[in-house]
Amino acid sequence: MRATGPEGPLAAIARRLARAEASVCLTGAGVSAESGIPTFRDAATGLWSRFDPEQLASVDGFRNNPNLVWRWYRERVQAVQDARPNPGHIALARLARSLEGFTTVTQNVDDLHERAGSADVVHLHGRLTAYRCLECGTPVQLDLAQRLAAEPPVCAACAGLIRPGVVWFGELLDANLWEQAYAACQQADVMLVVGTSGLVWPAAELPLLARRAGAHVVEVNPEDTELTGWADTCVRGRSGEILPLLADQVERIVS
Ligand code: OAD
């Protein structure tokens, strides 16, 4: 069911958010698109339409050609370093400040939510710069020069290669992060689903879990997705345009 009426859907969503005891937002690559970070599945600009995920985003790919994979992620690190949070990220940070019990769960490996002011973001697919040893798993802090080096550094403990802290194909999500995301969806009265194609599981299951637990699910995306059929309300448009309007309405209600 889609919200209708003279006020449009945003006013109704804002009222739901303002009276919710808890709410959650799941974001995907679309929320960072307006910061110039390419999404994965856009037919023209998406990363996976131009690069082979098996080669670049898997343990086997890294073992086969560590320098190639490292340099590909080095470009991602540089792109994020050069990017700025966009109005969508900033609006989500405003919502988190205005609302009680607002949890941000992201599939994105960039830090643009944090740089926009969101705290305690649940990074389901890891973080680009949470490096660790491929072999022994020891976490490693790298400075910018090391992150942008031509080859992966080696682990001081076991001489294994250092890898980016992202979840690669075939790897399990961190159980603790999944628990946090799951709990937020179980408790939420409203769930915003922003800028994700809903094609990658188990993240794509979260809106279904939230809805089954009673949440009103709102999709914000310029296009229909796999999750559209599960949404109670769909708002078609870019997150950088829609979310600031929503944050304005919420702030008007709660202030
Ligand atoms: P996708 O590239 O699959 O989907 C991006 C979504 O963002 C699409 O539905 C677009 O319509 C939408 N979009 C584009 N521009 C937008 C904008 N300005 N505002 C709002 N939405 C916009 O990206 P994800 O769903 O995030 O996994 O992909 C999920 C996972 O697949 C990623 O986390 C990554 C990838 O493989 C890992 O790295 C493990």
Q: How far apart are CA 193 and CA 25, in angstroms?
A: 6
Q: Which residues pair with 123 in a beta bridge?
A: 106
Residue 1 pLDDT > 70: no
CB 242 within 8 A of CB 13: no
Ligand 1, atom nearest to 40 Cα: 2
**pLDDT tens-digit profile of 107-163?**
999 999 999 999 999 999 999 999 999 999 999 999 999 999 999 999 999 999 999
- CA proximity to 193, closest of 134, 239, 146: 239
87 Cβ closer than 6 Å to some ligand 1 atom: no
CB 28 within 8 A of CB 112: no
**Per-residue confidence (pLDDT) for residue 5, from 0 to 100:** 41
Q: Calculate the average pLDDT of the chain.
A: 94
pTM of the model: 0.95
Q: How far apart are CA 239 and CA 30, in angstroms?
A: 8
**pLDDT tens-digit profile of 203-245?**
999 999 999 999 999 999 999 999 999 999 999 999 999 999 9
Q: Is the bond preceding 202 in cis, omega lying within 30 degrees of 0?
A: yes
How far the first Cα of the chain sits from its last, in Å, is 29
Ligand 1, atom nearest to 225 Cα: 9
In the reported structure, the alpha carbon of residue 202 is separated from the centroid of ligand 1 by a whole-number distance in angstroms of 14
